[in-house]
Amino acid sequence: MSENLNKLQKTDISFLKSLTDLEFHNLIQTIPKEQQAEILEQLKHSSVPGLAATSAAMRMRKKRQLDSEVDIREIKDVRRRNTALSCPFKFIETYFTDRFFMKHASHHEEMIKAICHVAQFGGDQAISAPRGEGKTTVATIMMIYAILKQWVRFPIIIAQTGPHAERIFKDIKYQFEANTILGEDFPEIIDPIRSLEGAPQRGNQQRHDGERTRIAWKASYITFPFVQGSPYGGISLSYFGLDSAIRGLIVNGMRPDFVLIDDPETRESAQSPHQISTRAQSIDRDIAGLAGPRKRIARVMLCTIQNRYCLAYQYTDPKQKSSWSGKRFKMLDVFPENTAIWDEYIIRRQEAQREGDKEAKAATQFYIDNREEMDRGAKVSNPQRFDQTVMPDGWKIEQSALQHCYNIISDYGIESFLSECQNDPSEESGPETSGLTAVTVAGRMSGLDQGELHPDHQVITIGIDLGKYLCHWVMIGWQPHCIGNVIDYGILEVSNVSTQTSNEATEIAIFNALVRWRSELLESNKKFDMVLIDSGDFTKTTYQFVREVGGAPFMVSKGTGGRNFVSGKQSNQRIVGENWYASYQQQENIWLYMLDTDYWKQFVHQRFLTPTFNEAKQFNSGSLSVFSTIDRKKHLSFSHHIVAEERREEFKPGKGLRVYWHQVNRNNHYLDATYMACAAARMKGIDLPIGTTQKLATETKQKQPSQPFLTPTGQTYLATQRK
Residue 518 has pLDDT above 90, yes or no: yes
**Confidence check: pLDDT of 235 > 50:** yes
**How far is the C-alpha of 536 from the C-alpha of 560, rounded, in Å?**
10
Count the Cβ atoms, other than its own, within 10 Å of residue 317.
17
Q: Give me the residues paired with residue 262 across strands.
A: 159, 302
Identical fold, 80-328 and 444-632+669-683: no
Question: 623, 671, 670, 669: which is closest to 646 by C-alpha?
Answer: 671
Give the three-state DSSP class for 660. Answer: strand
In the beta sheet, which residues pair with residue 123?
298
Above 60 in pLDDT, residue 302?
A: yes
Mean pLDDT, residues 75-99? 94
What confidence tier does 531 reach under pLDDT thresholds 50, 70, 90? very high
Mean pLDDT, residues 658-663:
80
Task: List the one residue out of 494, 440, 476, 472 whose CA is nearest residue 672.
Answer: 472
Distance CA 236, CA 45 (A): 51
Torsion of Cα atoms, 251 then 237 then 108 then 134, to 10°: -130
Task: Compare 26 and 639 and report the one with higher pLDDT.
Answer: 639
pLDDT band of 405, cuts 50, 70, 90: very high
Phi and psi dihedrals of 246, rounded to 5?
A: -120, 0
Model confidence at 5, pLDDT cuts 50, 70, 90, reads low
pLDDT digits (tens, 9 = 90+) for 542-587: 999 999 998 889 999 999 887 788 888 899 999 999 899 999 998 8
pLDDT confidence tier of residue 161, bands split at 50, 70 and 90: confident
Confidence of residue 291 (pLDDT cuts 50, 70, 90): confident
The helix/strand/coil state of 226 is coil
Quick check: 336 pLDDT over 60? yes
CA 81 to chain centre: 37
DSSP state of 254: B
Backbone angles phi, psi at 102, to 5 degrees: -110, 165
pLDDT at 588 over 50: yes
Confidence of residue 703 (pLDDT cuts 50, 70, 90): very low
CB 307 within 8 A of CB 266: no
Which residues of 494-534 form beta strands (DSSP E)? 530-534
Q: Domain boundaries in the chain?
A: 10-68, 80-328, 332-421, 444-632+669-683
Single out the residue of 199, 215, 289, 300 nearest to residue 248, CA to CA: 289
pLDDT reading at 237 higher than 80? yes
The predicted pLDDT at position 61 comes to 62
More reliable by pLDDT, 247 or 446: 446
What element of type H or E holds 90?
Answer: helix 88-95
The stretch 229-253 carries a mean pLDDT of: 88
Question: Above pLDDT 70, what percent of the chain?
Answer: 86
- Is residue 56 within a helix (H) or strand (E), and if so which, with residue range? helix 51-68
Averaged pLDDT for residues 304-325: 92
Please indicate, yes or no, whether the overall pTM of this predicted structure exceeds 0.75.
no
Query: What pLDDT does 227 receive?
Result: 94
Q: Say how many C-beta atoms besides its own lie within 10 A of residue 141's C-beta.
A: 23
What is the full DSSP assignment across 525-570? T---SEEEEE-SS-HHHHHHHHHHTTSTTEEEEEEE-GGG------
Domain 444-632+669-683 carries which CATH code? 3.30.420
Per-residue pLDDT at 693 = 46
pLDDT at position 690 is 62
Looking at per-residue confidence, does 681 or 19 come out higher? 681
Return the pLDDT at 59: 65
Q: What whole-number distance in Å separates Cα of residue 118 and Cα of residue 120? A: 5
Angle between helix axes 33-42 and 21-29 (nearest 10 degrees) is 140
According to the model, what pLDDT value does residue 27 have? 75
Q: In angstroms, what CA-CA distances link 179 with 82, 130, 191, 213, 485?
A: 17, 28, 12, 21, 52
Q: What is the pLDDT of residue 38?
A: 72
> pLDDT tier at 707 (50, 70, 90 boundaries)?
very low
- Residue 596: φ, ψ to 5°: -80, 100
Q: Closest Cα to residue 466, out of 355, 577, 542, 373?
A: 542
> Does pLDDT of 634 surpass 70?
yes
What is the average pLDDT value for the chain, to the nearest integer? 86
C-alpha 232/C-alpha 185 separation (Å) is: 14
565: exposed, middle or buried (Cβ count in 10 Å: 0-12, 13-18, 19+): middle
CB 18 within 8 A of CB 7: no
Which of 658, 663, 626 has its CA nearest to residue 643? 663
Question: Is the pLDDT score of 508 beyond 80?
Answer: yes
Residue 716 has pLDDT above 60, yes or no: no
pLDDT at 561: 80
Whether the CB-CB separation of 263 and 160 falls below 8 Å is answered with: yes
Residues in a beta bridge with 128: 303, 328
Q: Quick check: 661 pLDDT over 70?
A: yes
Is 80-328 CATH 3.40.50.300? Answer: yes
Cis check for the bond before 425: say yes or no (omega within 30 of 0).
no
Residue 582, φ and ψ in degrees, nearest 5? -115, 130
Max avg pLDDT among 239-248, 414-423, 474-483: 474-483
Per-residue pLDDT at 713 exceeds 50? no
**What is the spatial order of strands in the sheet that 459-465 belongs to?**
574-577, 580-585, 590-596, 554-560, 530-534, 459-465, 470-479, 483-493, 624-626
Specify which residues 251 forms β-bridges with: 254
What is the per-residue pLDDT for 558? Answer: 94
Residue 718 has pLDDT above 50, yes or no: no
Q: What is the mean pLDDT of residues 124-128?
A: 94
